Amino acid sequence: MSSKRLEQIAQATKTAFVFPGQGSQKVGMLADLAQQFAGINATFAEASEAIGFDLWQIAQSGEGLNQTEFTQPVLLTASIALWRVWLELGGVAPKYLAGHSLGEYSALVAAEAMSLGDAVKLVHLRGKLMQEAVPEGQGAMAAILGLDDAKVLALCAEVNAQGQGSVDAANYNAQGQVVVAGDKAAVEAVMLAAKEQSGKAIALPVSVPSHCSLMKPAAEKFAQALEQTNIELPHLAVIQNVNAAIATDVAQLRQALTAQLYQSVQWTKTMQYLQDQGVQYVVECGPGNVLANMAKRLPNIEKAFPLDSSSRLEDALNAILVAEGKIA
C-alpha cells in the first residue's frame, strides 16, 4: 500500500494499533496463521535475509528465543507480519500507532519510517548492546503493583541513597503498575520495601534491566547505529515511549529512540494521549494480549483486540470494520 493511501484511509478512524515488547514471545508463535497466509512466511524470510539467520526457526523451535539479541528481531518481525496480513485483508488503517519498548520499532516500520530489514538489524544490535552493558545475572526487573507512581519513585530514591546499587522506574504501564529495573540487589530491596507498604512485587524473567541508567553505555553506542540508518518521518502518527508525544523531525525521533534505552517507558501517558484524541478501539499487533488487556481497563476504550490467532484476527477485522462504519 502506498504511503499516501495509508495516510488517507487512516485519517477518520478511531482506532489505534499497539505493538508489544519483549516478554510477549512464545514458542510456535503465528504457526497457525502461517498456514493460512503466505505473507507471514514471506515477512520472516525477508527479515531473515536481512539479518543473516533464520528468525522463523528461532520462533518455532524456541532455541535462543529468550536471548535478548534474538528475541527482539523475532518479535518485531512477527508484529510486522501480522500488520501486513491485516492490511492485505482490508483491515482499517489506524489513526495512531504506539509500541511498548521494542514495539516502538515495530510501529515505526508499520508507519514506513524505516524498512523491516534495517529495523531487524537495529534491534538485533540493540539487544546485544543491552546484554553487554549488564552481564546476565547482575541486573533485574520487577513489577510493583498497588502503589502509586510517586510512592514507587520514593522507594527507588531511598534504595539508591542506601548505596545498594542503582534502581529506576522503567515502565509506567498503568495506574498502580510500575516496573522497576537496575542492579539486582537494589531491585530486590525495592521489592521488599513495596511489600512492606502493602504493595505487591513480582520479579520478571528477563536477561537485562531495560530502561534504566545502567543502559546509558549501550545507548551511547546505539546512537551511532541510529545515525547511520535511513529513517524518515512516519506516514502514520507514532507516539514515542519517552515523552508520549509525536516526533516532528527525524533528529528528534532518533534522540527519543536513543533515550528510550535508559529512560522510562511512558505507557500510561501514551494510552491517555490516545484516549484524549478520541481513540475508542485498540488492536494489539503482535504475539500475546498483554497490551490489549491493559487497554480494556481504560475508561474511554470501548474494545481492545489481540491478533495472534486466526479466530482473534477474524474477530478484530470484523468488529473494527463495523465499529468504524466500513460495513453494516
Best CA proximity match to 98, nearest among 229, 222, 272: 272
Contact 99, 109 (CB under 8 A): no
For residues 68 and 218, the answer to whether their CB atoms sit within 8 Å is no
Q: Is 211 one of the catalytic residues? A: yes
Residue of 24, 211, 235, 264 marked catalytic: 211
**Annotated catalytic residue, options 48, 79, 101, 210:** 101
Helical axes 184-196 vs 149-161, angle rounded to 10° = 130
Q: Are the C-beta atoms of residues 150 and 199 closer than 8 Å to each other?
A: no
Neighbour tally for 246: CB within 10 Å: 17
Q: Is 311 a catalytic residue?
A: no
**3 state DSSP class of 307:** coil
Helix (H) or strand (E) holding 177: strand 177-183
- Spell out the SS3 assignment of 178-216: EEEEEEHHHHHHHHHHHHHCCCEEEECCCCCCCCCHHHH
What the block records as the C-alpha cell of 282 is: 485498540
- Tell me which residues are annotated as active site: 101, 211
